[in-house]
Chain A
Amino acid sequence: MKSHVWRPLVVVLAVIALVLVAREVLVPADFGIGARGYMYGWHRAGNEQQWKDVKVKYKTAAFCKDCHPDKYDEMKESPHRNINCENCHGPALNHPDDPKSLTIDRSRELCARCHTRLPYPNSGRGVMKGIDPKTHNVGLDCVTCHWPHDPRKEGHKR
């Protein structure tokens, strides 16, 4: 052990050992090679579950149906049938436990997303019923005249 060859080797080995010990402590036990092999799957396995555990916010119209069958049925008969309740009423979140968590959007801008007429001949947008928001009853909410659940019916009375 007195030789000048051994001395640096000991230092190198000590550094390697230090790195490996640190790695043992710092790297979580579930860090490893996943299903897709070393190149694509190298990760902390527990993170997959963490992503699965993220809370669902939009619960779809099927969820609303149980308590509001009348509204649901009215919608299903209307030209707006494919629009989910939550597109206008906001994500169900903790509703019905916390009714205030619903954020109903009755704005003109919401309707304008689809019903601003754009002259696009070969797009679905071009054939939608549209208006020019700059001239069509400026300043009024669409729901004043059009009932959103079934736009063929009359809207809210002021």
Chain B
Amino acid sequence: MISRRSFCKKSLLIAGGLAIPLSCLELFDPKRLLAEKDEKGARWVFLVDTRKCVGCGFCVKGCKVENEVPYDANVTRTWVERYVVTKDGKTHIDSPKGARDGFPNKGIDIGHGKLEEIKDEDIEKAFFVPKLCNQCDNPPCVQVCPVGATYQTADGVVLVDRKWCIGCGYCIMGCPYGVRFFHPVFHVAEKCNFCYHRITKGMQTACVDSCAFGARRVGNLRDPEDPVTKVIMTERVNVLKEEYGTKPQVFYLGLSKEVK
């Protein structure tokens, strides 16, 4: 006769013994890894021409509406910075509300509703720099995500799984470009995803379509005939914070040394 105690022990052992190999195989299945690899697709990249941007902010407005980022909350997936370098060597930077309403003011926004007036004759140079997620090739935000909610697709775009994100905020801390924030409605990490629903349908991103000045362009780096790829390959483009090793894939034309 088998005792109740030993029956319980043995069945637990067997159940455990069965569960271990089943689930362990699931974790590291090299066939599955290979099957999901797609080398032929696109590698989406972005090209920003800072010389063309006039700071109208239509891109920020378009992005907010297209991607349902609450319009009045002070968060945006993409934003535009203004740099005014004065003759005394100082750099004045602002981006009121991410430039959602553009820059309809000469004064530099220094917070608390105050504007710093700069005399026209003191200006050495001034320009606008649009910023967005760099869809890094080595995205630290993905590395630090403990649950696999932030991940990178085969075509290079870093996406956030809203169902899977636990809101721990590691990715917000991990991104050296400060492009991430908490979505005020969904309460999960939010970021630019190159309008994944548009580019995968053959459209341009909402910010590219909104820009009347051609300051923003999206392209496919794996297509040598792509006009954006040609510019990146043949002209003097720059990226932000190259020293971090994140391999950013948003390329800038006409970047100035004041921009970090």
Measured CB to CB, the residues of A under 8 A from B are 1, 10, 13-14, 16-17, 20-21, 23-24, 31-37, 39-45, 47-48, 51-58, 60, 80, 82-84, 86-87, 90-91, 109, 112-114, 116, 118-126, 128, 133
Evaluate contact between B104 and A116: CB separation under 8 angstroms: yes
Evaluate contact between A120 and B159: CB separation under 8 angstroms: no
A31: which of B13, B148, B200 is its contact (CB, 8 Å)? B148
Evaluate contact between B51 and A124: CB separation under 8 angstroms: yes
Q: Taking each of A23, A48, A123, which has the highest tally of chain B beta carbons within 10 Å of its own beta carbon? A: A123
Chain B's closest residue to A82 (CB) is: B212
In the complex the two chains form, what is the Cα distance from A20 to B24 in whole Å?
Answer: 9
* Least Cβ–Cβ distance between A25 and chain B, in angstroms: 11
Total A-B residue contacts, Cβ distance less than 8 Å: 192
Between A and B, 21 residue pairs with Cβ closer than 8 Å are A32-B36, A33-B29, A33-B33, A35-B154, A36-B154, A44-B163, A47-B151, A48-B153, A54-B196, A80-B212, A83-B212, A86-B62, A109-B101, A113-B102, A118-B103, A120-B127, A121-B123, A121-B126, A123-B51, A123-B53, A124-B53
Evaluate contact between B19 and A24: CB separation under 8 angstroms: yes
Question: B9 at interface (Cβ–Cβ under 8 A)?
Answer: yes
Known: A36-B151, A109-B101, A133-B104. 12 other contacts (CB 8 A): A16-B19, A24-B19, A24-B22, A35-B153, A36-B154, A44-B161, A48-B153, A56-B203, A58-B65, A83-B212, A87-B58, A90-B65
B19: which of A21, A39, A84 is its contact (CB, 8 Å)? A21
Evaluate contact between B103 and A58: CB separation under 8 angstroms: no
Evaluate contact between B66 and A51: CB separation under 8 angstroms: no
Question: B164 at interface (Cβ–Cβ under 8 A)?
Answer: yes
Evaluate contact between A87 and B36: CB separation under 8 angstroms: no
Question: B78 at interface (Cβ–Cβ under 8 A)?
Answer: no
Please name all residues of chain B whose beta carbon is closer than 8 Å to the beta carbon of A17 when the two chains form the complex: 12, 15-17, 19-20
A44: which of B164, B197, B213 is its contact (CB, 8 Å)? B164
Which size class do B's interface residues fall under?
35 or more
Evaluate contact between A34 and B36: CB separation under 8 angstroms: yes
Measured CB to CB, the residues of B under 8 A from A are 6, 9, 12-13, 15-17, 19-20, 22-23, 26, 29, 32-33, 36-38, 51-58, 61-62, 65-66, 84, 101-106, 120, 123, 125-128, 138-139, 142-143, 148-149, 151-154, 159, 161, 163-164, 193, 196-198, 200-201, 203-204, 206, 209-210, 212-214
* Least Cβ–Cβ distance between B46 and chain A, in angstroms: 17
Evaluate contact between A58 and B161: CB separation under 8 angstroms: no
Chain B's closest residue to A120 (CB) is: B126
